[in-house]
Amino acid sequence: LYSRSGGEMDSSGFEHVFVGEVKNDKVSGFHNWIQFYLEETKGNIDYRGYIKPRSCDDSMAETNGDDHVLTLQFAWNGVEKFVGTSFIGVSPEFELALYTIVFLTTEEEDSDISLDVGGEVFDLKVKCYRYNDGKNIGSCYVEAMAHYEV
């Protein structure tokens, strides 16, 4: 545990990203699809919908079964998450590895990366927020920028 809010010890970046937490009457973090699934099966999630991704020309992009990053709106135990972005269908090990690589190889908050997975390319922006003079991860999540076949 370490302070991510400049005060008392509260939670780790891992807990924030993969489990989620409630702060100031809002859901914070909660960027993992497995946690979403588990909480939904318990009846703790009120799914409100998703926000369509934008395409390169700023129009609305189409979504399909190949999308692996979605921006969701939901309530968790009655507390709102107005915008939350998550990988969908990937392993926690993949997410942890990606966020660790970004944390160790750049000091930027926004890192643009391209993932080529078997002929499909995902252009992603990885948001990595640091705390305690850059020694700890406060939060990490992705935003989908583009998805195309090569």
Q: Catalytic positions, please?
A: 16, 31, 81
Cβ-based neighbours of 62, under 8 Å, separated by 6 or more? none
The span from the CA of 115 to the CA of 46, in Å, is 31
CB 149 within 8 A of CB 68: no
Widest CA span in the chain = 49
CB 113 within 8 A of CB 124: yes
* Spatial CA neighbour of 107 closest among 133, 146, 89: 133
Q: How far apart are the first and last CA of the chain?
A: 43
Q: What is the DSSP letter of 42?
A: T
The span from the CA of 21 to the CA of 107, in Å, is 25
